[in-house]
A and B are shown apart, each in its own frame.
Chain A
């Protein structure tokens, strides 16, 4: 039985449709910019929690544990602490998780993590003592059995986390992704956030394929700030389908001479396109919410959610 420790999970179990955001701190000890974005997200009143990335793309960034704590403390925005296996062995994972529990963090997204060779320190040792699925297992044991993965007792109160994992609806064949999701749910994953989807049919097919899995699915979207960003996804991110109609509309907007006009039109189009998208996927029962990856573009989030309306 899933217990709700976080607002995110409470809302989901109450049947509310949830929105999560994404924050990406960088290679810096200065969190002021990220905190300002977090504030914008908080002020929409509609974002129930936001992810804090862990060494994204294997670029050595400020500890996601520290960033999560500071953001949550400074802004009151509930965080989803992302924890990856690329850089820590199981001891370090246990100690960071106990630390996160002590700091009042209530959501963890368990990831395998990008390989160091893809990042800015490719000579680093890849750890991967555990993979993402085994990390879900570890966290579940800590929360529901008060033990670590080797069976050692945790002294005192058990950590209280709701456990999330990643999913990729763009994977072909979808059967592989479904089997992976089943594995993760079996060992304790309670919610899934998906990779970016632009084509609503991809989202709908995915939600049908996973309707038998007892977990909450949050569909990931990425409203692009510019035609260039959308084009980047279409051309350079393999597997992600960007509908031609979407690209063409953004292209024509990008050809407008006035910068302010362009900005306005893009914001408008993103709201229009994605609110239609969200209204469609909301109809599927396994879809419990949307994960908006508007990194560096928090101002679009409020209007978009408003436009969807309902709850």
Chain B
């Protein structure tokens, strides 16, 4: 799924319209040229690829390799007379943005940022250096004034998305008599199939993707409990595999502190964090199963 921000941008440029089918990959370096050719052959009029900016690739060279392939493919396609617009790419990267009117200059974001991209400048406002921002969102989760947002993953957007599930949650609980679980997963810890939003197929599990587990704000967790979720599982990357260096460690610390507070109102056992990697097929599914079992046994 292309996040709404990018979608808006592409629409504005006349690149996307409402007849588009959105697919999602962990890295565009993954896309085999055969797939693109097959799509074009089967009637797709235009393919738009959105790679990361060259120096932001989380797999080092994936983005550049992918773009290189695309350029070659574009040349080939032109040679057989296809419109140059048939295969188009648009480099993008989401960044954190600070609302200077809300910032209280506490310095938490500057301290937490794994890219050292934030500075607190006099008279007491945080400033992000766009070149260095890695788009992980760790700063978002530590801001006490809710002054930072990550494009496409704004706090209001996520909180709104969580509260929209309230009627569905009630329905699942009442009619299907099952506990409803929210899984917040890091985009690198779990790669869903390109045309599906999630791999786990049970209907009482609802998935929310975040760019990095460090972005998970205690507010999202609390909101989820508040709206009726029975359990919340965070899926982060395995130790030393975080694409932003220490995002999973930050997430682990936050979850631990949050569990201590939640314990005081008997919700401590309903929040868990697990560490998974996509190369172990089915690992996240297993963790979800175990978590649900644990909840049912309470």
Please determine if A and B sit in direct contact within the complex, based on CB atoms under 8 angstroms apart.
no
Q: Which chain A residues have a beta carbon within 8 Å of chain B's beta carbons?
A: none
